[in-house]
Structure formats: structure tokens, C-alpha cells
Amino acid sequence: MAKLKKSLLFRLTMLYAVTFTVLSTLGFTVFYYRIHSVTIERMDDELYDEAHVYETLMAEVGFDAVREEIFNQSKLEDPEEEFYRIFNYNGKVLTSTDMSTWGNVDMHETISELKKSDTGYAAKTIVLSESDRKARILTAPISPSTLIQIGESFEETEEYLEIFRNLLFVLITILIVIAVFSGWLLAKRALMDMSEVTRAAEDITNGNYERRVRINGRFMEIERLGATFNVMLDRIQNLLQSMQQINDNIAHDLRSPLARIRGIAEMTIVKDKSIDDYKEMAISTIEECDTLIDMINTMLDITESEAGVTAAKVESFDLTTLMTEACELFGPVAEEKDIQLDLDLPDALPFVGDKKRMQRIVTNLLENAIKYTPKNGTVVVSAANDSGKLNIDFKDTGIGISENDLPNIFNRFYRCDHSRAQGGVGLGLSLVKTYTESMRGNIRVKSVPNKGSVFSLSFSV
């Protein structure tokens, strides 16, 4: 029972059935009482019409004619079914048909009721104490001093109303059965679509990542749930694929430096070396370890920024100063390759964002521009505020990037074939992109192989 109570199908069916039952019972009750009151109204009309006939007879012929007529009339009916009584306003009975089965039918109260009534008659339903029968009693004047009281048993009407009541009861019962069944059917159909979502989730849990919710468009809300679920699954699958790729890349990129460190260590054991050789090997090991540490730290920085664990700071600083300092730092490296490093910056370039992240963006792009530009080339760093947009360009006359490589260079660990000879792990541009986007900027690249590349950043200020 507890399990059943928890079932959505059961609850929806019950809700539907209860609502339907309450509403239809209410509807039928109102209908029944309306029929009941109309029946009584009609009965009163008939009795009043009859009283009116006696009133006319009284006015035109006289009391004796009325008395004769009511006795004639009473002979046609069973005395239990109908009675006639004529009395005056003091409650003195002038004549009456056989009322032995009617008990004590009130006159005085009726007289005062009649005085107040504006319909010209007083009518009420009584229950006869002896037989428990119901009857309608109508009292109306037939002359200024006399009243006629007609009583009519309700039995026939009651029988007819009872048939009607029974009919309604059967009808309500049938309707409730139909309501429960159709409620159950409706809920079942809706939940069938829901269970498709559940089944899809179960299949995915069991490793079938390709599985999607089959949408049949029967119910709008469930269709939306299924579509959203599928979009979520697509994203999860993409995420899993990119994590898989990252794992492969990490494994690959960790293996090389580790293999080199192992090689160095092996060489140390195999042969006797001079103290200088040992020092050199230690230096190589430190360098390899630095590469590894750098790689791991960059990976963590990218992941943290992408996951929003560390949000970009909001601080004001001058970009011209930041970029000039970065270029001064790379001056000696550029000089070593006879690369001309030009700066085209305004005197001041106020910026609001994360200073540390901006430093890493600028140094990475500058480092790449110098790294991938052969001897005697040129690197130009320019920045300008162009009506609400801050644009920064890193332009070089380097080896360029092929059309095939361009869409991939911002992926983690992606390195173009031609750059394998250079140091690096392929994380720089990925970090640049993540950091740029964390400050609501964007990065674009244009490149022509063997001619050069331009990396353009733009931020709204």
C-alpha cells in the first residue's frame, strides 16, 4: 500500500477519479434538486388551479355546490391519497372529506401563513406521523371568509423521483468507473513517455553512451524534458570525449619527459662519469621536471578557469605599461634571433580585468610570435581603443599556420607538425583562450603559411 501511495500513476489516477466524482456528484445533486423543486412547483400549480375552480364555483353558485363537488371529487380518489376541507378564518371546519388517515393537519398556522403570503395560497410538505407518507397541503381562499385546504399524497411523485434518483446513481457509478479507467489510461500514457527517459538514463548508466531519448511528441512537457535530456547527454558525451582526448594527450606528453628523465638516470648508473657529467645530468633532470611541473600547473589553471572555480578578478590597470614590461622581458630573446620587436601602443590604455591573467595572455602570445618567427623577422604588438572595443594585435612574419591546423590550435595539447622541433607542450593558446573568455573577450587568428600570423584579442570596455 505504501508503495502504491508513492506511485505517480496511482496518485494521478486517484486525483482524476476523485475530482471527477466530486464534480459529477455535485452536478447531479444540483440537477436532482432542481427537478425536485420543479415537480413540487407543478404540483402546487395544479392544486391551486383546483382551488381556483372552487373559488369560481363558490362565487357563482354557492357553498353547497362546492361541498357537493368536493364530495363527488373525493369519491374518485382513495381518501388516503387526497382530502378536501373547507374552514373559515377562525379555524371552524365547515365541511371535510374523510380525513381519518391524515392525522392532525394544522389549520391555524396555515391561516397566519396565508395572511403573510403574496402568492394567494400557502403550501407545505408534511410527513404523516402514522404512515410516514409525505403529502403536499395547499390552502387558498375561495371566498372572503372561507378557505379550502387540499391535501395530496406525494407517493406517486416520490416513486417517480426515486426512479430518477436510482437512475442518477447508476449513471454516476458508470461515469466514475469510466473516469478511473480513462484517468489511469491518460496517466499511464504520459508516464510511459517518462519511463522512456528513465530507460534511457538506465541504459546510459550501463555504459551505452550513444543512447538518446526517443521523442514521440505526444506530450509537450515530456517532449521538452526528453529534448533537454538529449542535449545534456550530447554535452556529457562531448565532455567525456574531450576528457578522453586530454587523458591521451597527458599520457603522451608526460611519457616523453619521464622517459627522458629515466634515460638520464639510467646513463648515470651504467657508466662511470665525471662530476661535471653528473652535474649536467642533474640540470637536464631539473629542466625536464620544470617542464612537467609547468605543464601540470597550466593544465590546472585552464581547468580551474573553465570550471569557474577561480573567477577573473576585476581590477583597474594600464595595459600600455603591462605590455611594455612584457616586451622588455622578451627583448633579449628577440635580439638573440635578430627579430625586430616593435610596439605600437597609446600613452595609456586603462583596462578593467584580471591583471595576472592578462600578463599570461600577453606573454604567451608574445613568446609564440618570437618562437615561431625565424631569424631577421619582425614582431609587432599593437593595441588601441576603438569606440568601446579594445583591440590588441600580435603580428609576426613567422612560419604561419596551415588552414587545416587553424581550427585546432586552441585545443589542449595541439601542436602543429612544423613546430615539433620547438619546445612547448601545446597548452599556451588553450590557456590564452580560456583566460580571454573569462574576461568576456574573444580571440581570432589569421595566418598565411610562411608569411606570418596575426592573433587579435578584443574586449568590450
Binding of residue 378 to ligand ADP (CB under 6 A): no
C-alpha to C-alpha distance for 310 and 21, rounded to whole angstroms: 58
- Distance, in Å, from the CA atom of 93 to the CA atom of 84, rounded to the nearest integer, reads 11
Task: Look up residue 394 and give its amino acid.
Answer: F
Edge-to-edge order in the sheet of strand 378-386: 340-344, 378-386, 389-396, 452-460, 441-448
Q: How many other β-carbons are positioned within 10 Å of the β-carbon of residue 414?
A: 16
User: What's the rounded Cα separation, in Å, for the pair 358 and 133?
Assistant: 100
Among 429, 439, 443, 457, binds ligand ADP (CB under 6 A): 429
Does residue 456 sit in helix, strand or coil?
A: strand
Give the range of 114-122, 154-162, 187-195, 421-429 binding ligand ADP by CB under 6 A: 421-429
**Of 128 and 443, CB closest to ligand ADP:** 443
Closer residue to ligand ADP (CB): 183 or 428:
428
Q: Taking contact as CB under 6 A, which single stretch among the options 121-129, 242-250, 346-354, 408-416 is the one that binds ligand ADP?
A: 408-416
Of residues 305 and 368, the one with the C-beta less far from ligand ADP: 368
From the list 424, 446, 456, 458, which residue makes contact with ligand ADP (rule: CB under 6 A)? 424
Cβ proximity to ligand ADP, 47 vs 323, nearer residue: 323
Using CA atoms, how far apart are residues 309 and 296, in angstroms rounded to an integer?
17
Backbone angles phi, psi at 232, to 5 degrees: -60, -40
What is the size of the binding site for ligand ADP (CB under 6 A)? 21
Residue 433 in contact with ligand ADP, rule: CB under 6 A:
no
User: Cell 449513471 sits at which residue?
Assistant: 171
Distances (CA, A) of 195 to 3, 185, 215: 17, 15, 12
Q: Which of 66, 128, 319, 369 binds ligand ADP (CB under 6 A)?
A: 369
Question: Is residue 372 within the footprint of ligand ADP (CB under 6 A)?
Answer: yes
Residue type, 136: R
Q: Is 415 in the site for ligand ADP (CB under 6 A)?
A: yes
| Nearer residue to ligand ADP within complex by CB, 13 or 453 | 453
* Cα dist from 438 to 220, 364, 393, 413, whole Å: 36, 16, 19, 20
Kindly state the cell numbers that stand for 106: 394544522
Nearer to ligand ADP, 78 or 342 (CB): 342
Residue 101 DSSP class? T
Contacting range for ligand ADP; rule: CB under 6 A; set: 149-157, 160-168, 380-388, 414-422: 414-422
Of positions 368, 397, 434, 436, contacts ligand ADP by CB under 6 A? 368
- By CB under 6 A, which span of 120-128, 246-254, 353-361, 395-403 interacts with ligand ADP? 395-403
- Select from 15-23, 266-274, 299-307, 407-415 the region that touches ligand ADP (CB under 6 A): 407-415
Q: Which amino acid is at 434?
A: T
Check: CB of residue 428 under 8 Å from CB of residue 372: no
Smallest gap from residue 372 Cβ to ligand ADP (A): 3
Those residues whose C-beta lies under 8 Å from the C-beta of residue 5, and which sit 6 or more positions away, are: 11
Position of minimal CB gap to ligand ADP: 424
Q: Give the rounded distance of the alpha carbon of 163 from its chain centre.
A: 50
What is the biggest distance separating any 2 CA atoms in the chain, rounded to whole angstroms?
157
Determine which helix (DSSP H) or strand (DSSP E) holds 123, and give its type and residue range. strand 122-127
Q: Find the binder of ligand ADP among 428, 436, 438, 459 (CB under 6 A).
A: 428
CB of 368 to ligand ADP, least distance (A): 4
With contact defined as beta carbons under 8 Å apart, do 323 and 343 qualify? yes
Does 253 engage in binding with ligand ADP (CB under 6 A)? no
State yes or no: residue 409 binds ligand ADP (CB under 6 A).
Answer: yes
State yes or no: residue 288 binds ligand ADP (CB under 6 A): no
Using the rule CB under 6 A, is 443 a contact of ligand ADP?
no
Task: Closer to ligand ADP by CB, 87 or 455: give it.
Answer: 455
| Nearest to ligand ADP of 151, 452 (CB atom) | 452
**Considering only residues 179, 302, 425, 457, which one is a binding residue for ligand ADP as defined by CB under 6 A?**
425
DSSP-derived 3-state class of residue 125 = strand
One of 47, 341, 401, 457 touching ligand ADP (CB under 6 A): 401
Segment holding 150, helix H or strand E: strand 146-153
Residues that bind ligand ADP (CB under 6 A): 368-369, 372, 396, 398-401, 409, 414-416, 419, 424-430, 453
